[in-house]
Amino acid sequence: MEFLLGNPYSTPVGQCIERATDGGLQSEDWTLNIEICDIINETDEGPKDAMRALKKRLSGNRNYREVMLALTVLETCVKNCGHRFHVHVANRDFIDGVMVKIISPKANPPTIVQDKVLSLIQSWADAFRSSPDLTGVVHIYEELKRKGVEFPMADLDALSPIHTPQRGTPEVDPAMMKYLAPNISAAGAPKPSQPTPAATQASSIPSPVTATPEQIARLRSELDIVRGNIKVMSEMLTELVPGKEDGSDLELLQVRFEPSHLICYFKL
């Protein structure tokens, strides 16, 4: 029945997803990724249309560069969108019918793709375990473990929680306070009668810029992706045997883990 709904890439969010997961991209397009999250959060059909486009990009795709980009978009949306999107991601049909098929023995994907899929399933199972209508992913996760599937080592306590930013109401992590401008009113600010040399020098330093909710969400997502990239790279380097590397693993390792991909560049 899916074909009756038309081309998944024809919708506004579908067009963005098609561009954000194009194999010709040199790296993730975070402007598009955040725009996708905004469309999902602000439109009635956004969650459903986004999932149709992501399913199309992920299902049966042997271009693993596109698959990795699509998984990054999916992860970003889960972290930055709400329950309306989560119900599409956490259900059994998507997890078993799309995600698990990506890593099936028949598909035989590169290690980096397999680790990414398993890490996402594991983190979502942990995050949604207490939500009765989001436990489809929990059941699949437990079934895979019973079948002997080995999930990547992960400190679930250290993983960022599923976070849905409220537009216009910044939710600032305490650890990020030192990067944001202090909110001091002009009336309450002390007025020294005679500035000291140290104060004069400090006044020439530009003040920090206050981040918007979208920028904070983007920063959090980028930091999570960078941390995951470093972890997967470490595991791959441990497993690879010099002279016996698989060509697809080397290609993905080269593309995915360039220095610019491991460092989070963020402009406010």
**Contact (Cβ atoms closer than 8 angstroms) between residue 67 and residue 57:** yes
DSSP state at residue 257: T
Q: pLDDT digits over 100-159, tens only?
A: 999 999 999 999 999 999 999 999 999 999 999 999 999 999 999 999 999 988 655 545
Instruction: Give the angle subtended at the CA of 233 by the CAs of 228 and 234, to the nearest 5°.
Output: 100
| 130-140 per-residue burial string, b: 16 or more CB within 10 A, e: under 16 | eeeebbbbbeb
CA–CA distance, 113 with 40 (Å, rounded to integer): 25
Q: pLDDT digits over 184-228, tens only?
A: 334 444 444 444 555 445 445 455 556 666 666 667 666 777 666
Number of helices and strands in the chain (H, E): 13, 0
Q: What residue type is assigned to position 177 of the chain?
A: M
pLDDT > 80? residue 34? yes
- Token pair 């883990």 is found at 257
Contacts of 160 (CB under 8 A, 6+ apart): 79, 220, 223, 224
Mean pLDDT of 1-11: 77
DSSP bridge pairs for 169: 166
**Contact (Cβ atoms closer than 8 angstroms) between residue 54 and residue 70:** yes
> What's the confidence (pLDDT) of residue 153?
80
